[in-house]
Amino acid sequence: MSIDSAPTASATALDATSGAATRRDILHRLLMTLGPILAALVIAGFILLAVGVDPLAYYGYVLEKGLFSPLGIQQTLTRMAPLLFLAAGLIVAFRAGMWNLGGDGQFLLGAVTAAASAPMLVEILPAWPALICSFLIAMVVAMIWSLVPALLRAYQGVNEIITTLMMTFLGTSLANVLVKLVFRDPATTVPQTRTLPVEDRLPRLFDTTVTSGLLLGLAAIVIVHLVMTRTAFGLKLRIVGANPRAAVHAGLGVPGLTIAVFAISAGLAGLAGAVDIIGVQGNVRADWNPAYGLAVIPAVFLARMNGFAAIGFVFLLSVLSIGGESAARRLGVPNHFTLVLVSIVLIVLALAEYIDHRYNQSRKA
Amino acid sequence: MTGLFSEVFLSALLFGAVTAAIPLLLAGLGEQMSEKAGVLNIGIEGMMLAGAYLGFVGAFYSGSLWLGFLTGAAGGVAVALIMALLCVRIGLNQIIIGIALTLGLEGLTALLHHFQFSRSYPRLPAADATVIPLLSDIPVIGAAFFKHHLIVYLAVALVFGMSYLYRRTQLGLNLQAAGDKPAALDVAGIDVIKTRTIAVLTTGALAGLGGAYLANVGAGLFIPFITNGAGFLGIVLAMLARGRPIWVLFGALLFGVCLSLTTAMQVAGINIPTDVIQMLPFLAVMIMLVLFGRRASLPAALGIPYERGAR
């Protein structure tokens, strides 16, 4: 039922042949997607009222700063780059029925290794090979970090939700240790890694401040979508996700595929960290943890794990995130509010799917 | 370094271990009951945060720790009520709702803290200890184990209460059946939904109480994200305890020592960054999971919502 059976939902959509049915189907999907978002905005609005903030003013400010101001929209598009990579990683894991909730740890370790390697590599290599190397290093480190939960799940059957969460706590601390002890820039008083010079970072798009990492993120999520829906490998992963026992009987090497899923998912999270550092931040400061990992989950579910739809919801999340940061400085509503909003979206979405499911059942009966 | 292993230090270390273990114990016992009844409760971190926040608010405004524990437990129950409604009654995905509740409560408690306490950061006075006569005079151990707030002894007693519940009572058997073979329980004429709801609400109360203890006695104040994964540690404890409450106690004490060592090493001024020390409890968890993960037994119907007549 519900959110985790997304592939079947898209299959039925393709079967609908007559024009009217398709139109009704599109309308229905639009309602099922925008409905929960609007309902969540209303419910969260009451929370704002309760703490004495005018919700309309707050939402208006978020939209203005995240979407309608020239600087804001550029920041929003830039913020999308790491979020798209994270969403791509989650799509692989969720479609294969695995809960990689360790995105934040993988992200931070990727970010720190990218921040440590990039300034060194640009001194000895030409610009592009250097950046590519540092992307690869970040990816591999994140992959290695996911190996323990992957092996435990594949061979011991240990629940990956818990292990990935634990590894996130460990990874966050380890990233800090690396920044403070190993990769610390001796030239600064605040603990941070060496800064990648602006001219060595990923180029900006045209005359804007938007990072070209956005293109990488878009490419990543589209490739992931195509691999999951159009290739034999993707089909295998989806079978593992739909019914692991049937997958064993079908002769699939489930442990190997499990490890592959974790590696791909974590690798993409590591790349997310790298694209944020090499594209935007330039260094990692101690105790820096944007905690994008869990916030991306609702965007992926709203998109029904469809890569193209996920782009749209990641954009929305980006607007909320950039606008929310401005609102935190200006209106004094801390960023934590975005967490509340995101969680309400998840709950209302699950509820809406349930009601929809029940309604369809009673109509059939 | 001589001070590090002195009697006073050791006893302070163990005292801290017990203080750190109690929230884990309560969360672990709560999670254990949910899991026995077939509900994987990822939202327990959110329940603990609700308990920590409301527990602190209750104790701060009333001046009574006991009232704080009560409001804390009520906060946990309130969150558990959402979970029971969504996951047990109408059978939504337990993991998604659990994540959502944890995220939401993280955000909500941080938000409320910001508007209420972020300018003053009020603290509660140190909790009164109930000194157990004679036993507390034993060197090292006495000061470490027998000079705690009354609720600590009650929490330890609860371990044996839970053992009794699971082994000797009808409700205990019902709870386990709800997780192992809910259809059989249903056929026997017992309401599965009701049994699971009882389990989830109890989890909420225990997690909320654990959170309230963490904030009111452990820290003496509320800060955002104060639980820092304690709820998740509780889930691990429940997984590794294989259904036995006494193992939750041992596990909680072990992790408690790790957490206490974290504080002690900082106080002792050992020259390692706090981040290294903070990894200790989670490292211990991963090692435990690598060593014993295979033997973690979980109920057959864990995580599967019960729907009568469903195939």
Percent of chain B with pLDDT over 70: 95
Alpha-carbon gap, residue B282 to B28, rounded angstroms: 15
Alpha-carbon gap, residue B248 to B162, rounded angstroms: 11
Q: Tell me which residue of A219, A206, A217, A270 sits closest to A74, measured CA to CA.
A: A206
Alpha-carbon gap, residue B77 to B55, rounded angstroms: 12
In the prediction, which pLDDT does A14 show?
44
Determine contact: B96 vs chain A, CB below 8 A.
yes
Q: Tokens 């929809």 sit at which residue?
A: A356
Calculate the CA B189 to chain-centre distance: 32
Contacts of B279 in chain A (CB under 8 A): 169-170, 173-174, 177
Cβ pair B235:A162 closer than 8 A: yes
Among candidates A163, A174, A334 on the partner chain, residue whose Cβ is nearest the Cβ of B114:
A334
Asked whether B224 and B65 are in contact (CB, 8 A), the reply is no
Best of B31, B39, B108 to disrupt the A interface (most A CBs within 10 Å) is: B108
DSSP-assigned letter for residue A17: -
Determine contact: B280 vs chain A, CB below 8 A.
no
- Chain A residue with Cα closest to B97: A347
Cβ pair B278:A173 closer than 8 A: yes
Asked whether B248 and B28 are in contact (CB, 8 A), the reply is yes
Bridge partners, B131 (sequence order):
B147
Among candidates A3, A170, A340 on the partner chain, residue whose Cβ is nearest the Cβ of B286:
A170
Cβ pair A344:B104 closer than 8 A: yes
Residue B171 lies in a domain: yes
Cβ pair B92:A162 closer than 8 A: no
State yes or no: pLDDT of B124 exceeds 50: yes
Residues 64-93 of B with CB under 8 A from A: 82, 86, 90-93
In the prediction, which pLDDT does B294 show?
73
For residue A29, the SS3 value is helix
Cβ pair B100:A347 closer than 8 A: yes
For residue B224, the SS3 value is coil
Among candidates B99, B224, B285 on the partner chain, residue whose Cβ is nearest the Cβ of A294:
B99
Quote the minimal CA–CA distance from B78 to chain A in Å: 16
Residue B14 lies in a domain: yes
Cβ pair A351:B86 closer than 8 A: yes
What CATH number labels A52-335? 1.10.3470
Contacts of A99 in chain B (CB under 8 A): 95
Among candidates B235, B275, B294 on the partner chain, residue whose Cβ is nearest the Cβ of A176:
B275
State yes or no: pLDDT of B196 exceeds 90: yes
Contacts of B296 in chain A (CB under 8 A): 158
Give the residue-averaged pLDDT of B62-66. Answer: 89
Domain span at residue B182 reads: 2-295
Contacts of B1 (CB under 8 A, 6+ apart): none
Q: Tell me which residue of A299, A324, A320, A321 sits closest to A311, measured CA to CA.
A: A299
Alpha-carbon gap, residue B300 to B311, rounded angstroms: 15
Alpha-carbon gap, residue A271 to A276, rounded angstroms: 8
End-to-end CA gap in chain B: 64
Task: Indicate the pLDDT class of residue B56, thresholds 50, 70 and 90.
Answer: very high
pLDDT tens, N- to C-terminus, chain A (365 residues): 344 444 444 444 444 456 777 888 888 888 888 888 899 999 999 999 988 888 898 999 989 888 888 888 999 999 999 999 999 999 999 999 998 999 999 999 999 999 999 888 888 888 788 889 999 999 999 999 999 999 998 888 888 888 998 999 999 999 999 988 888 888 888 888 888 887 777 778 777 778 888 999 999 999 999 999 999 999 999 998 888 888 888 888 889 999 999 999 999 999 999 999 998 888 888 888 888 888 898 889 888 889 999 999 999 999 988 998 888 888 888 888 988 998 998 899 889 888 888 888 888 76
Alpha-carbon gap, residue B303 to B179, rounded angstroms: 9
Q: Which two tokens stand for residue A242?
A: 């739909």
Residue B303 lies in a domain: no
Give the residue-averaged pLDDT of B215-232. Answer: 88
Asked whether A73 and A136 are in contact (CB, 8 A), the reply is no
DSSP-assigned letter for residue A303: T
Q: Please provide the average confidence, as pLDDT, over all residues in chain B.
A: 87
Alpha-carbon gap, residue A216 to A221, rounded angstroms: 9
In the prediction, which pLDDT does A146 show?
94
Quote the minimal CA–CA distance from B135 to chain A in Å: 37
For residue B188, the SS3 value is coil
In the prediction, which pLDDT does A1 show?
35
Length of chain B: 311
Sign of the dihedral defined by the CA atoms of residues A343, A347, A353, A356, in that order? negative
Give the DSSP per-residue string, A246-293: HHHHTT--HHHHHHHHHHHHHHHHHHHHHHHIIIII-S-BTT-----T
Q: Tokens 């089909």 sit at which residue?
A: A235
In the prediction, which pLDDT does B155 show?
92
Percent of chain B with pLDDT over 90: 46
The CA distances from residue A275 to A191, A269, A342, B162, in Å, are 21, 10, 24, 50
Alpha-carbon gap, residue A328 to A60, rounded angstroms: 14
Alpha-carbon gap, residue B182 to B301, rounded angstroms: 7
Contacts of A52 in chain B (CB under 8 A): 115
Alpha-carbon gap, residue A348 to A37, rounded angstroms: 8
Question: E strands along chain A, which residues?
Answer: none
Cβ pair B275:A350 closer than 8 A: no
* Higher per-residue confidence, B2 vs B303: B303
Size of interface A-B (CB pairs under 8 A): 134
Number of domains forming the structure of chain B: 1
Residues 216-235 of B with CB under 8 A from A: 224, 228-229, 232, 235
In the prediction, which pLDDT does B297 show?
66
Cβ pair B289:A347 closer than 8 A: no
In the prediction, which pLDDT does A93 show?
94
Residue B253 lies in a domain: yes
In the prediction, which pLDDT does B78 show?
96
State yes or no: pLDDT of B2 exceeds 70: no
Among candidates B107, B224, B239 on the partner chain, residue whose Cβ is nearest the Cβ of A159:
B239
Among candidates A2, A159, A163 on the partner chain, residue whose Cβ is nearest the Cβ of B92:
A2
Residue B159 lies in a domain: yes
Alpha-carbon gap, residue A202 to A214, rounded angstroms: 10
- Any idea what the CATH number is for the domain that residue B135 is in? 1.10.3470
Quote the minimal CA–CA distance from A177 to chain B in Å: 6
For residue B103, the SS3 value is helix
Give the DSSP H or E segment for A362: helix A336-364
Residue B111 lies in a domain: yes
Strands B147-148 and B130-131: antiparallel
Calculate the CA B95 to chain-centre distance: 18
Length of chain A: 365
Contacts of A161 in chain B (CB under 8 A): 42, 95
Contacts of A358 (CB under 8 A, 6+ apart): none
Query: At A192, phi and psi to the nearest 5?
Result: -160, 165
Quote the minimal CA–CA distance from A172 to chain B in Å: 9
User: Which residue ranges make up each domain of chain A?
Assistant: 52-335
In the prediction, which pLDDT does B269 show?
66
- Chain A residue with Cα closest to B273: A177
DSSP-assigned letter for residue A147: H
For residue A192, the SS3 value is strand
Cβ pair B289:A169 closer than 8 A: no
Contacts of B291 in chain A (CB under 8 A): none
State yes or no: pLDDT of B44 exceeds 70: yes
Alpha-carbon gap, residue B19 to B249, rounded angstroms: 13
Asked whether B81 and B204 are in contact (CB, 8 A), the reply is yes
State yes or no: pLDDT of B133 exceeds 80: no
Residue B307 lies in a domain: no
Residues 39-58 of B with CB under 8 A from A: 42
DSSP-assigned letter for residue B236: H
Contacts of A298 in chain B (CB under 8 A): 100
Q: Which two tokens stand for residue B67?
A: 């009232």
In the prediction, which pLDDT does A311 show?
94
Alpha-carbon gap, residue B41 to B51, rounded angstroms: 16
Cβ pair A51:B275 closer than 8 A: no
For residue B227, the SS3 value is coil
State yes or no: pLDDT of B304 exceeds 90: no
Cβ pair B112:A51 closer than 8 A: yes
Determine contact: B285 vs chain A, CB below 8 A.
yes
B223 sits in the region (left: phi over 0; alpha: psi -120 to 50; else beta) called beta
Scored b (16 or more CB within 10 A) or e, B7-23 reads: eebbbbbbbbbbbbbbb
Give the residue-averaged pLDDT of B138-165. Answer: 85
Bridge partners, A204 (sequence order):
A211
Query: At A189, phi and psi to the nearest 5?
Result: -85, -40
Task: Indicate the pLDDT class of residue B210, thresholds 50, 70 and 90.
Answer: very high
Give the DSSP per-residue string, A73-97: HHHHHHHHHHHHHHHHHHHHHHHTT
Scored b (16 or more CB within 10 A) or e, A258-273 reads: bbbbbbbbbbbbbbbb
Cβ pair A337:B273 closer than 8 A: no
Among candidates A3, A162, A340 on the partner chain, residue whose Cβ is nearest the Cβ of B108:
A340
Q: Which two tokens stand for residue B182?
A: 């809910």
